[in-house]
Amino acid sequence: NAGLTDVREAVAGSLSAESGVKLSADHVVMVCGAAGGLNITLKALLDPDEEVIVFSPFFVEYLFYSDNHGGKTVIVPTHEDFSLNFNELRKALSPKTKAVIINSPNNPTGVVYSRAMLTELAEVLRQHTSDTGNPVYLISDDPYKKIVFDGVETPNIMELYENSIYITSHSKDLALPGERIGYVAVHPKCADAESLMSGLIFCNRVLGFVNAPALIQRAVKNVQDVSVDAEMYRKKRDFLYGELTRIGYSVVKPQGAFYLFPKSPIKDEVAFVQKLAEKKVLVVPGRGFGSPGYFRISYCVPDKVLEGSIHGFENAFSEAMK
């Protein structure tokens, strides 16, 4: 089922206030987390061999989610600062494009897309829709949306684009890792909104999610506007970003989530990640995110661990520079 009505009403109320778009409980499906939400959405949307665009670097499991349901993933590179590259996007759009997935703040880069950038994205997709007659759905997968720094704005995509689907989970913003709770919200003016909603509810059932866990649904109902203290993550970011740039790493300063995505000082980032591992610093190679030559650091760790890692980052860097 779609979830408890009062919980969906609370979500709709919170989303309406945030986006300025009037949503009701009928536009919300409670799900077992954002990954489940993405799967039911792609299963509901995709016909065989239709295409889903993602921007690299991307959360690697996006590749599987489309493949699970007969779709194809088309990867679009971003600029050097990980901002959206609209020329590349235009080249990638085709009559088979069914959906575009964005993720802001982004995993693995921590980059946040600005209002101007999202507005331009909406324009490009609107143009393509009007050129081809096939609506392109914009899926915003944003579990990190409430973890942002420096007063940066994260506009809700519903405000900017009608064919939009907003998906999130509470595992990050309420620090509930391991609990499976999130939701999918469909813009009321989305193409085929009503049949899409029926499709989501049906797919939620037959893919085996059935419903979002009832107990945790009740728990999150009353905390829709609550979030973890992002300040804690900002301090960690500032410390680590400061240290890494001091050492000489090239890294885009992120404005959200809890990841940094530096350039590897040597081309083969897998070798560099191994070198870091020898120094007891654990990071993930960028090719897993579609971006070889980079690596991802998760700084959602205690300060002690973060401070202890600097020595390893420093040694590995100077060895690589030899």
Q: How far is the CB of 314 from a second copy (least distance, A)?
A: 33
Stretch that binds a second copy, among 84-92, 175-183, 222-230, 256-264 (CB under 8 A): 175-183
Which of 2, 21, 37, 255 binds a second copy (CB under 8 A)? It is: 37
Residue with Cβ nearer a second copy (133 or 177): 177
- Within 4-79, where are the H helices? 5-19, 33-45, 62-68
Looking only at the bridges linking them, the beta strands covering 97-102 and 137-141 are parallel
Please report whether residue 54 would count as binding a second copy according to CB under 8 A: no
Q: Which two tokens stand for residue 141?
A: 């997968």
| Contacting a second copy within 3-32 (CB under 8 A) | 32
Please count the residues of this chain forming the interface with a second copy, following the rule CB under 8 A.
Answer: 30
Q: Which stretch binds a second copy (CB under 8 A): 77-85, 114-122, 141-149, 179-187?
A: 179-187
Contact region with a second copy (CB under 8 A), list: 9-17, 37-45, 142-150, 314-322: 37-45
Task: Compute the distance between CA of residue 81 and CA of residue 287 in angstroms, rounded to an integer.
Answer: 17
In this structure, the number of other CB atoms found within 10 A of the CB of residue 261 comes to 24
Whole-number Å distance between alpha carbons of 157 and 159: 5
Residue 73 as a binder of a second copy (CB under 8 A): the answer is: no
Residue 112 found at the interface with a second copy (CB under 8 A): no
Q: Residue 272 and residue 264: Cα distance in Å, rounded?
A: 7
The neighbouring-strand residues paired with 165 are 139, 186
Tell which one of 11, 35, 260, 281 touches a second copy (CB under 8 A).
35
Q: What distance, in Å, lies between the first and last C-alpha atoms of the chain?
A: 60
Instruction: Please work out, in degrees rounded to the nearest 5, the angle formed at the alpha carbon of residue 154 by the alpha carbons of 180 and 294.
Output: 75
Give the residue with the Cβ less far from a second copy, 151 or 177. 177
Per-position DSSP letters for 85-119, written without gaps between them? -HHHHHHH--TTEEEEEE-SS-TTT-----HHHHH
Near a second copy in 233-292, by CB under 8 A: none
Annotate each residue in 194-223 with x if it binds a second copy (CB under 8 A) or - if it does not, as one string: -----------xxxxxxxxxxxx-------
CA distance 36 to 241: 33
Q: Which is nearer to a second copy, 122 or 203 (CB)?
A: 203
Is residue 305 within 8 Å of 257, Cβ to Cβ? no
Nearer to a second copy, 184 or 281 (CB): 184
Of the candidate spans 34-42, 127-135, 141-149, 302-310, the one that interacts with a second copy by CB under 8 A turns out to be: 34-42
Binding site for a second copy (CB under 8 A): 32-33, 35-40, 43, 61, 64-65, 68, 177-181, 205-216
